[in-house]
Amino acid sequence: MAIPPIPQSLTLEIVTPDHAVTHEQVDEVEIPGSDGYFGVLPGHTPLLAMLKVGQAWYRKGADRFYVLIAFGFAEVLPDRVTILAQVAERPEEIDVARAERARQRAQARLAAPARDIDFERARVALMKSLIRLQVATRARVRT
């Protein structure tokens, strides 16, 4: 049996329940998996991974692009990465003032927890706001 050739690029598709974020050919992807960040290059072994809140990035040539990812799944095939995310936002889609207010609210909730606070929900809100602020500072980075 012949070994199939290694693909030269990956088709990256990132979608949420309400819109498509990106669909393009890329050279490399880094994804926030539930067990930690992992990188994908063309020819990667197939896998299915759960996602956490984090900053994903993909590279096209020398340019690196960032996306906020929050929960969902990633399907990795040798020539394709499909990310089905609960939330996915590009830097230009992030409202920095809103993200800063969300960070302040979440930090206040966590600093003085009441008996009826949903600690995990507050922790996730804080993580989302921090990653949003981090991604918002990046448009495109040359490596």
* DSSP codes of every residue in the chain: -PPPPPPSSEEEEEE-SS-EEEEEEESEEEEEETTEEEEE-TTPPPEEEEE-SEEEEEEETTEEEEEEEEEEEEEEETTEEEEEEEEEE-GGG--HHHHHHHHHHHHHHHHS--TT--HHHHHHHHHHHHHHHHHHT-SEEE-
Q: What is the pTM of this model?
A: 0.84
pLDDT digits over 18-73, tens only?
Answer: 999 999 999 999 999 999 999 999 999 999 999 999 999 999 999 999 999 999 99
Query: 94-136 — its CATH code?
Result: 1.20.5.440
Domain residue limits, the chain? 10-91, 94-136
Report the pLDDT value the prediction gives residue 113, as an integer from 0 to 100. Answer: 65
Q: Quickly name the fold that domain 10-91 has.
A: ATP Synthase; domain 1 (2.60.15)
